[in-house]
A and B are shown apart, each in its own frame.
Chain A
């Protein structure tokens, strides 16, 4: 290693340490004045409003801006899908929402996540104390993870694991009530022989069954928002359809919103009301599912839709977007998709394009549509 590069690494680790210590100190404070996190909602009909959210990872080779200025809303009772390639920041966005980003390297460095709690208080989730967050997690906002095989604790029974959540957030319920509720939940998610499953350990169940258990767990306290992080990726296709149907039905029953994270556009078409497309930590396009599917604007979204196989349509070779996701460290200040974009032109060398509204809330971040927007179309 040359002297310069060693010098550079040293500088990075020094800067990282300083930044991480700064954020950790803020995180560790016990008594946070409510005025720091009480905020106002932009729209009453939203459950969650992300505003310019930034989550960075301080790594040994530099800062990875995993979520870099993301803003979108989740309306009440709707499903919002967060779409993008692996490593584009989808999962980090939802982990940030749950305050589960793994420290000390991962830190929320800016922005707001506004949320109206059940008590009617509007808080910024990125700034509330951990003890407050623990009351919201699993109770008002719950989560279904990608890997049903490893997301359940192998040494506790299914019953124990579901009851734990209920017991934690409903202190007034008796042991018997909790057990009844747990079995009821297992029945709701379509598990027959719920009594038997109650006493089983996770390893005795199949992947689809475990994912149903995870869904039961996430429903246990009638949450206002369910985050589903690639809930069907690890399952085979027939089970996928069942799980998606189940989620949709249950969502309607308890009138919850879903934040669906996926890279599967088929799943999006089936489930989502709104779609947010992310690329390299930024939103490149967002709109209703209809907007995105019928008139995709951003070349990346167009590419994604083209690379999806279509039944009854013959193609020689399935389309793929050439190139790779750029190295997320020290990103240039022009459109991150430029090097892979088929339609890039002179203007793309300029600043990073801002996310502009094409009308009706369909937003795109691309220079191609700059003119249209300026002309007011």
Chain B
């Protein structure tokens, strides 16, 4: 097992390397770089000043040369300084990711708490009215675009009913501290969490349902029934353990991605997380930040697959021992 993990980590390095080449090439090919974005519409900037600025930001070299300059620094652990936020990229990511994580994590927990039981119930009552109702509910969630659903929530709960704040993370000019601050933030997180949770309950629910149905039709479930176990025991002991195998590995694989931020939802609710930050950096052409952020995403994805592989071995005895 240890050897396997080391091998996987070794491969990951190469994957990250490849990802960085593609990313850098794409970013440099985007029309409009950071300098032309910032000086646009400012008549007092001369041509020489632009050239000077480009040199200052390292944008005067070609793609290949620029990539190796970036790589040289990245290999020493220096991802450069964000053009837009005027701080080291790693520092910006580290300071924003916990906001994104707490938002996504809350949504994630709620999602699972609703989706897994719903999936199991709808699988055990396949083609019943309950099953159809749950399926329709989850399909609505999958189909609703998050910006649209967010706008509806803002209109009803923030504007009309005034139950929740419309956006932001804290109430302005209150300067809460400690527990009050936490409660205030939680209050601001309600609507975004609902958006994030509701739009992805469906896929988890369908995933659980499919797996549960597959397990329920297997021979060992018939054996369990033939032993005289009650239907509840058959489902919640014998079938559930087996359904959990793929579900747990999926859950494990998704945990790293919780740090990556939700660009659209964070943007709509003006939550200062990683997604919101990355979106602005992208608009501005902030090359070091975009590079750093995307590499961070690639790293999270690789971690996710590795974690799900390890978890597979933990929950499934067939993988554990062979």
Q: Does B46 contact A (CB under 8 A)?
A: no
Q: Does A26 contact B (CB under 8 A)?
A: no
- Asked if B238 and A138 make an inter-chain contact with CB atoms under 8 angstroms apart, the answer reads no
Min distance, Cβ A212 to any Cβ of chain B, angstroms: 15
Binary CB contact string for chain A from 123 to 139 against chain B (1 if under 8 A, 0 otherwise) = 00000001100111111
CB contact between B223 and one of A131, A151, A201, A203 (< 8 Å): that residue: A151
CB contact between B229 and one of A150, A168, A214 (< 8 Å): that residue: A168
Q: Does A147 contact B (CB under 8 A)?
A: yes
- Among listed B21-29, B168-176, B278-286, B313-321, interface-contacting one: B313-321
- Asked if B223 and A152 make an inter-chain contact with CB atoms under 8 angstroms apart, the answer reads yes
CB contact between A100 and one of B220, B226, B238, B242 (< 8 Å): that residue: B226
Whole-angstrom distance between the alpha carbons of A168 and B238 in the complex? 14
Whole-angstrom distance between the alpha carbons of A273 and B317 in the complex? 42
Whole-angstrom distance between the alpha carbons of A135 and B229 in the complex? 9
Q: Does A237 contact B (CB under 8 A)?
A: no
With A155-B317, A204-B321 known to touch, is A150 a contact of B228 (CB < 8 Å)? no
- Asked if B229 and A153 make an inter-chain contact with CB atoms under 8 angstroms apart, the answer reads no
- Which residue of chain A is the closest to B230 with respect to CB atoms? A134
- Asked if A151 and B317 make an inter-chain contact with CB atoms under 8 angstroms apart, the answer reads no
- Asked if B228 and A155 make an inter-chain contact with CB atoms under 8 angstroms apart, the answer reads no
Residues of B within 8 A of A153 (CB): 220, 223-224, 238, 241-242
Min distance, Cβ B233 to any Cβ of chain A, angstroms: 8
- Asked if B227 and A138 make an inter-chain contact with CB atoms under 8 angstroms apart, the answer reads yes
**Considering the complex, which residues of chain B in the window 208-234 have a beta carbon less than 8 Å from any beta carbon of chain A?**
218-220, 222-231
Whole-angstrom distance between the alpha carbons of A104 and B230 in the complex? 18
**Considering the complex, which residues of chain A in the window 129-167 have a beta carbon less than 8 Å from any beta carbon of chain B?**
130-131, 134-139, 142-143, 145, 147, 150-156, 164-165
Residues of A within 8 A of B322 (CB): 203
Q: Does A98 contact B (CB under 8 A)?
A: yes
**Considering the complex, which residues of chain B in the window 271-322 have a beta carbon less than 8 Å from any beta carbon of chain A?**
315-318, 321-322
Residues of B within 8 A of A130 (CB): 231
Residues of B within 8 A of A151 (CB): 219-220, 222-223
Residues of B within 8 A of A139 (CB): 228
Q: Does B245 contact A (CB under 8 A)?
A: yes
Whole-angstrom distance between the alpha carbons of A154 and B241 in the complex? 10
Q: Does A183 contact B (CB under 8 A)?
A: no
- Asked if B245 and A168 make an inter-chain contact with CB atoms under 8 angstroms apart, the answer reads no
Chain B at the A interface: SS class = helix
- Asked if A136 and B242 make an inter-chain contact with CB atoms under 8 angstroms apart, the answer reads no
Residues of B within 8 A of A100 (CB): 222, 225-226
Residues of B within 8 A of A168 (CB): 227-229
Q: Does A217 contact B (CB under 8 A)?
A: yes
Binary CB contact string for chain B from 230 to 266 against chain A (1 if under 8 A, 0 otherwise) = 1100000010011001000000000000000000000
- Asked if B227 and A137 make an inter-chain contact with CB atoms under 8 angstroms apart, the answer reads yes
- Asked if A135 and B318 make an inter-chain contact with CB atoms under 8 angstroms apart, the answer reads no
Whole-angstrom distance between the alpha carbons of A155 and B220 in the complex? 11
With A100-B225, A137-B225, A201-B318 known to touch, is A154 a contact of B230 (CB < 8 Å)? no
- Asked if A164 and B229 make an inter-chain contact with CB atoms under 8 angstroms apart, the answer reads yes
- Which residue of chain A is the closest to B316 with respect to CB atoms? A155
**24 residue pairs bridging A and B, Cβ less than 8 Å apart:** A100-B222, A100-B225, A130-B231, A131-B230, A134-B229, A134-B230, A136-B228, A142-B226, A143-B226, A145-B222, A150-B219, A151-B219, A151-B222, A154-B316, A155-B245, A156-B238, A164-B229, A165-B227, A165-B228, A168-B227, A201-B318, A204-B321, A214-B223, A217-B227
Seen from chain A, the residues whose Cβ lies within 8 Å of a Cβ on chain B are 98, 100, 104, 130-131, 134-139, 142-143, 145, 147, 150-156, 164-165, 168-169, 201, 203-204, 214, 217
Given contacts A130-B231, A142-B226, A201-B317, 16 further A-B contacts (CB under 8 A): A100-B222, A135-B228, A138-B226, A138-B227, A142-B227, A143-B223, A145-B226, A151-B219, A151-B220, A151-B223, A154-B318, A164-B229, A165-B227, A168-B229, A201-B318, A203-B322
Which 3 pairs, one residue from A and one from B, show the smallest C-beta to C-beta distance? Answer: A138-B228, A137-B228, A138-B227
